[in-house]
Amino acid sequence: MLRPARTISAFFLAAAALWGASAHAEDKLYEIKKTDAKVAVGTKGTTSVTIATKNGWHVNGEAPITLSLTPPAGITLAKAKLARADLAASTQESARFDVAFEAAETGSKVIAAEAHFVICQETACKPVKETLSLTVDVSAAAPAKDKPAKRAKKKA
């Protein structure tokens, strides 16, 4: 006869093992790829976020897909919320947002982002919310180079 404490412990261990296997399997349904940016202060730049599906899943072409952005001080975004119409590239297997910005002060900056999208396979769909960070390294502006004065051509 099993003791109640052992039975309960065994149940929780089995449940934890199943939960861990389920969470691990979900990690393989898609991947978020991001590019970090390096720009000089006072210039415009672009970083990107790509959602890439795996293992027979695809990006739902009809469901809403958004990328909400929160810039830090010193970064101005061209648009704070991107939607399906703003996708730079879109296929069944992936979707890419390009995030345009302008840097006004030097330093390492982090743009907070939250992506909402739906991935599907033949028998099921799964809504997804991902929180991520986009790093922007802003360096001091390069010193302006003096251009040599143009000489007037002499007529012979």
**pLDDT tens string 32-71:** 999 999 999 999 999 999 999 999 999 999 999 999 999 9
Separation of alpha carbons 83 and 66, rounded Å: 4
pTM for the full predicted model: 0.74
Q: Out of 6-10, 43-47, 74-78, 128-132, which region has the weakest mean confidence (pLDDT)? A: 6-10
Q: Which residue has the tokens 């790093």?
A: 135
pLDDT at 40: 96
pLDDT digits (tens, 9 = 90+) for 12-34: 344 334 334 334 445 689 999 99
* pLDDT in the model for residue 146: 55
How far is residue 20's CA from residue 126's CA, in Å, rounded to a whole number?
Answer: 18
Judge contact between 102 and 43, C-beta under 8 A: yes
When pLDDT is averaged across residues 73-83 and rounded to a whole number, the result is 97
Categorize the per-residue pLDDT at 154 as very low, low, confident or very high, splitting at 50, 70 and 90: low
How confident is the model over 132-152, as pLDDT tens digits? 999 999 999 766 565 555 555
Tens digit of each residue's pLDDT (9 = 90 or more) over 81-123: 999 999 999 999 999 999 999 999 999 999 999 999 999 999 9
Domains of the chain are 29-139 (2.60.40.10)
Name 72's Cβ contacts closer than 8 Å, sequence gap at least 6: 109, 110, 111
* HSE-up (13 A, CA, CB side) for residue 20: 6
Model pLDDT, residue 99: 98
